[in-house]
Amino acid sequence: MSLAVLKFSSEDCGICHKMSFYDEKIAKELSLDFVDIKMQDTATYRKYRQVLLAQYPNKTDMGWPTYIVCDDPQGEFKIVGEVKGGHPKGEFRQRLQAVLDEAK
């Protein structure tokens, strides 16, 4: 399994911006690929849209940002978990680790 964290965010989201100071670093420390997907970046968004819509068919109840952890995001993807919204660095690491522990 080669897991990736897909971060769905918006350029005008302050919390998304704050999380960007450490979210990718934590994902890489946990041996995860990281893909930053801004809703305004239509080319990147289209590439991963099917993953988001599998989890949120009409995009309600999404958090800002929403981190979806999945296997093979560009192929026959399988969602293993998610972390929604903004969290302090330590809590974000714990939540991401909890998703990985459940995926085993």
The enclosing domain of 51 has a CATH number of 3.40.30.10
Would you state the pLDDT for residue 11? Answer: 93
Range with lowest mean pLDDT among 35-39, 59-63, 69-73: 59-63
**Under 8 Å between Cβ of 78 and 55:** no
- Inform me whether the pLDDT recorded for 1 exceeds 70: no
What is the residue whose two structure tokens read 């940002």? 65
Would you state the pLDDT for residue 60? Answer: 85
Query: In this structure, what token pair is assigned to residue 56?
Result: 């949120």
Structural domain for 60, as ranges: 3-103
- Inform me whether the pLDDT recorded for 2 exceeds 90: no
Q: Which amino acid is located at 94 in the chain?
A: Q
Burial 15-43 (b: 16+ CB within 10 A, else e): ebeebeeebbebbeebebebbbbbbeeee
| SS (HEC) of 61-99 | CCCCCEEEEEECCCCCCEEEEEEECCCCHHHHHHHHHHH
Structural domains counted in the chain = 1
50 — pLDDT class (breaks 50, 70, 90): very high
Would you state the pLDDT for residue 59? Answer: 83
User: Rounded CA gap, 84 and 13, in Å?
Assistant: 14
Q: Burial-class residue 77 by CB neighbours within 10 Å (0-12, 13-18, 19+).
A: middle
Report pTM: 0.95
